[in-house]
């Protein structure tokens, strides 16, 4: 069994406790239980509207892209990193009902000695190409440029972030206030190949990459790519796995490409769901940092969410667990485990959402239910045990 503290030893946290403490006294916005902070309409001054702004990025997934590019010469992986930074913004905003039009600004910090201009071009052009694809599915994103800085003294390889904003009617917000006993949960798969994707998606997303990278890849990479590792990390938590980046897998992708699968957006699905069932949607949760326990932080009152019918974990996550020996309770808290978006609604609407997801070739399930409780709690009932998060 792996040391469950390895995640913390690597300098990362699934729950970001210190960050939550740091922002505890900040204004929570118009709807404190909403998935994203919602502001008054500062620019338009119309009380019927609100402003949204969100910042996120590809995280340490960019380090893996760097290693794969250096190892294979395949520069196309950087387009995936562009997608990761975009989707980690769009799909958080989806959770409050925002479907655009959006504006997007990128922020890239690189070590110029290691990351040349053709990589930057691949990221920027990949962003615009993705916006063009999404426009065909009704998601309008305007690229407003951004900042690219050469900051080798503070960034070892490259970091790719973005900021997204939009203005929307308050009457179209989804704020989680209506979550209630009797609701069911629809979980949408993060793996497979959606109609708007060009190849199989492992389901990785852009969370838990530090753990995935170190638990799967061989220790030799620490010496081969020292710039990919924080030199302050204990040697025993650095690249503990058995895989080469180019090893084949059962998915048809090699190990590197499997972990680098671009984060799936659910924007086309959610747009259709909200167009047809807006009044029945009580909450939308992006299971990013915090994995399947994420919804715990957005329950509007003491409620228990029981997930007893999650989709099976796809190969990537079983590979991580087997390689690391990570406790399954921690796996469900760190990773999305094959489903990265969940919608809270009534059962009849849930069945129709499953059909909508299927029309985009995305698997889904009515994965659980909400019940009354005396405290906020998420319970995962899985083939590997039952786990409670409070």
The CATH number of the domain holding residue 90 is 3.90.650.10
Q: Where residue 45 falls among pLDDT bands split at 50, 70, 90? A: very high
Query: Encoding tokens for residue 388?
Result: 């409670």
Q: Token digits for 339?
A: 């489903």
Taking alpha carbons only, the member of 294, 342, 339 closest to residue 313 is 339
Domains of the chain: total = 1
* Residue 341 within any structural domain of the chain: yes
If one counts every other C-beta atom within 10 angstroms of the C-beta of residue 249, the result is 17
Beta-bridge partners for 51: 39, 167
Under the banding of pLDDT at 50, 70 and 90, the label for residue 258 is very high
Rounded Cα distance between 299 and 376, Å, is 7
For residue 229, what are the domain limits?
A: 6-389
Domain membership of residue 1 (yes or no) is: no
The verdict on residue 264 lying in a domain is yes
| C-alpha–C-alpha distance, residues 157 and 151, integer Å | 9
Looking at residues 28-38, what average pLDDT do you find? 91
141: burial class by Cβ within 10 Å (0-12, 13-18, 19+)? buried
Q: State pLDDT tens for residues 169-206.
A: 999 999 999 999 999 999 999 999 999 999 999 999 99
3-state secondary structure of 19: helix
What length does the chain have? 390
275 located within any domain: yes
**What are 49-77's pLDDT values in tens digits?**
999 999 999 999 999 999 999 999 999 99
Indicate whether 92 belongs to any domain.
Answer: yes
267 lies in a domain? yes
Compute the distance between CA of residue 86 and CA of residue 162 in angstroms, rounded to an integer.
7
- Contact (CB, 8 A) for 53 and 164: yes
Cβ atoms of 203 and 317 closer than 8 Å: yes
d(CA 312, CA 305): 19
Predicted local confidence at residue 20, as pLDDT: 56
């Amino acid at each position: 069994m792996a040391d469950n503290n390895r995640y913390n030893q690597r300098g990362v946290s699934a729950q970001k406790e210190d960050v939550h403490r740091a922002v505890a006294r900040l204004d929570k916005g118009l709807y404190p239980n909403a998935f994203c902070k919602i502001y008054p309409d500062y620019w338009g001054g119309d009380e019927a509207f609100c402003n949204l702004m969100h910042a996120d990025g590809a995280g340490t997934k960019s380090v893996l892209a760097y290693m794969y590019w250096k190892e294979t010469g395949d520069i196309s992986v950087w387009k995936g990193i562009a997608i990761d930074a975009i989707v980690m913004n769009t799909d958080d905003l989806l959770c409050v009902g925002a479907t655009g039009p959006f504006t997007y600004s990128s922020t890239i910090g690189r070590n110029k000695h290691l990351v040349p201009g053709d990589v930057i071009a691949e990221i920027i052009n990949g962003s615009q190409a993705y916006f063009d694809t999404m426009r065909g599915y009704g998601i309008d994103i305007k690229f407003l440029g951004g900042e690219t800085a050469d900051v080798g003294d503070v960034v070892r390889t490259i970091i790719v972030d973005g900021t997204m904003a939009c203005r929307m009617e308050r009457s179209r917000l989804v704020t989680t206030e209506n979550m209630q006993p009797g609701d069911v949960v629809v979980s949408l798969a993060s793996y497979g190949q959606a109609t708007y994707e060009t190849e199989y998606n492992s389901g990785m997303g852009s969370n838990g990459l530090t753990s995935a990278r170190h638990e799967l890849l061989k220790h030799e990479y620490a010496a081969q790519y020292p710039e990919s590792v924080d030199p302050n990390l204990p040697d025993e938590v650095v690249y503990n796995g058995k895989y080469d980046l180019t090893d084949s897998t059962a998915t048809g992708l090699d190990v590197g490409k499997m972990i680098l699968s671009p984060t799936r957006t659910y924007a086309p699905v959610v747009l259709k769901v909200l167009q047809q069932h807006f009044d029945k949607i009580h909450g939308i949760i992006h299971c990013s940092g915090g994995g399947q326990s994420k919804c715990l932080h957005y329950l509007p009152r003491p409620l228990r969410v029981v997930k007893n019918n999650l989709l099976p974990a796809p190969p990537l996550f079983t590979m991580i667990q087997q390689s690391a020996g990570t406790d399954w309770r921690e796996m469900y808290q760190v990773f999305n485990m094959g489903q990265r978006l969940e919608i809270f609604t009534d059962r009849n609407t849930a069945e129709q959402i499953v059909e909508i997801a299927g029309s985009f070739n995305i698997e889904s399930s009515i994965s659980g239910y909400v019940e009354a409780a005396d405290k906020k709690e998420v319970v995962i009932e899985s083939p590997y045990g039952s786990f409670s998060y409070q």
